[in-house]
Amino acid sequence: MSDLTTWFFISSGLFLGWSLGANHAVNVFGTAVVSKMVKFRTAALIAGIFVVLGSVISGAGTTRTITELGPINAIAGSFSVALAVGISVTLMTKWKLPVSTSQAVVGGIIGWNLFTGSPTDLDSLSLIVSSWVASPLVAGAAGYLLFLLLKRTVLRWRIHLLQLDQYTRTGLIVVGALASYALGANNIANVMGMFASAPLFTDTGVAGLFEVTGVQQLYFLGGVAIAVGIFTYGRRVMETVGNDLYKISPLTGFVVVLAEFFVLTLFTSETIEALLLRNGLPAIPLVPLSTTQAFIGAILGVGLAKDPHSINFRVLGKIAAGWVIAPVSALLITFLSLFFIQNVFEQKVVIPVPHVITANVAGRLAAEGVPTDPLMDLEGQRFDNKKVLRNELMRRHPYTNAQIVAIFQYAIIDSFRVDSLAVPALSADAGLTPEQAAALSGRHGSLYGHKIDFDRALQECGISLAPTGDKLTDRRNDERRRMLERTFRLPAVP
């Protein structure tokens, strides 16, 4: 693929990033600007810097959930989905509605799944949807409690008005910068997550000091696009939330953004997740959050603590309607754009991935309770079209969506070849013992056509990565498995 073609296809992701920045600027510095405590240009500059930093440094955690929902493996498909989502978000921005980009992205990916016949992983979808419910509730509770704390402490200290204004201005800048960092870390998955399965850039060394991966380069470009959107068009949506939904004072603005930052960090930080798991506490899912919902939830929490009658619930209803319209419109626009790009412009929107049901695959499915008798006549047949395979499956048995996902997951041809030369460098990173490394090296040249076959070979080498029930251990094992798979995976052959 030429450089010009690459930049053409990635332009839709940059457009989506611009749309997200324009729509979400209100979520990080809207209260500071509307309350006239910080000039818009100053706020936009600070937000832009920290959005880029958050995207590059901490953007990996939430991207994984998006790719699990529907890994888009063709750059033309990624282009179509990002363009459709960008159009949906831009329309919402033009109508001055703070829309949930996360919801629009999910709608776009489901549209891609429907067009290509790919099953939607309902477990990943339910994880994301549950965050849409939890985030405004947690943000509302945080906003409510923080405002009461502020009311019982700072407001009773009788600080001089000018000094209080200076403290508030500083606080708004600090929490705005922190929220901007969290916005980039959490929402870069919405902007560039759909390109992660169709990598465009190779890893590049910088002056021999460190290496910048292709994914980090994607994150950097997406972060810059978000920053440009904040600077060029972010002021418009601020008017709806800041002037219509609830009259925001500087102090309440500080509480709102602080509560939002708290929620974004909870759903983004891999460090917090590991800390919770180490102490036997339930982990908070790392998902691309609806920052708009968290922001609105925080505003409502503060409003309920301060003066419930001052909340304009009619405007809230209008905003909520945008949260429904955005994913539905993104789904429909994605489906139509994929049709045109594939049939009119003759671009490949999905790279065929072969699926073959083997005896090992059938055994694994049977162990998980999936009926395999209807699959026996399909054993050994190769399917390059997901729609054809799905139709064959449903013609034989009324499989549930979870069973379809399992069949696709295990039957996919994902080939590996063990190379003993790669084992020494891998041992430390993957935590292999000398005995495990020696056993793996002894399988030099061995080929495996399915992930389950490769997993069995690892287990025979004493490398057990099966689920243990301990979430922290399972998380580490997942990282080790991905590392081993990346090292020995063979390039896909069309």
Q: What is the pLDDT of residues 95-113, one digit of tens each?
A: 766 677 788 888 998 999 9
By residue count, the chain amounts to 494
pLDDT given at position 2: 46
pLDDT given at position 69: 78
pLDDT given at position 94: 77
**What value does the mean pLDDT take over residues 339-351?**
87
| Residue 397 scores a pLDDT above 90 | yes
Residue 494 pLDDT level (bands cut at 50, 70, 90) = low
| Residue 308 scores a pLDDT above 60 | yes
Sign of the Cα pseudo-torsion (70, 74, 80, 86, in order): positive
**What value does the mean pLDDT take over residues 474-491?**
86
Percent above pLDDT 90 for the chain = 35
pLDDT given at position 321: 78
pLDDT in tens, 218-277: 889 999 999 999 998 888 777 665 555 556 788 888 998 999 999 888 887 777 877 777
| Residue 65 scores a pLDDT above 70 | no
171 near 250, Cβ under 8 Å? no
Collect contacts of 214-219 with beta carbons under 8 A, ≥24 apart. Answer: 215/60, 215/63, 216/56, 218/10, 218/13, 218/192, 219/55, 219/56, 219/59, 219/188, 219/192
43 near 33, Cβ under 8 Å? yes
pLDDT in tens, 168-210: 999 999 999 999 998 898 888 888 877 766 556 777 777 667 7
Please state which of the ranges 92-101, 168-177, 420-429, 439-448 shows the lowest mean pLDDT: 92-101
Q: What are phi and psi for residue 142, nearest 5 degrees?
A: -65, -45
| Residue 333 scores a pLDDT above 70 | yes
pLDDT given at position 148: 92
Q: How many CB atoms lie within 10 A of CB 388?
A: 12
Cα separation of 117 and 186, whole Å? 28
pLDDT given at position 165: 87
b/e sequence 90-114, b meaning 16+ C-beta within 10 Å: bbbbeebbbbbbbbbbbbbbbbbbe
pLDDT given at position 32: 86
Higher pLDDT, 259 or 34: 259
Query: For the whole model, what pTM was predicted?
Result: 0.79
pLDDT given at position 242: 54
- What integer best gives the mean pLDDT of the chain? 85
User: If residue 72 lies in a helix (H) or strand (E), which one and from where to where?
Assistant: none
223 near 186, Cβ under 8 Å? no
Percent above pLDDT 70 for the chain = 93
pLDDT given at position 23: 82
pLDDT given at position 246: 56
Domain ranges of the chain: 3-343, 355-411, 416-488
Residue 1 pLDDT level (bands cut at 50, 70, 90) = very low
pLDDT given at position 243: 56
Query: Alpha carbon of 476 to those of 71, 159, 464: distances in Å?
Result: 22, 50, 12
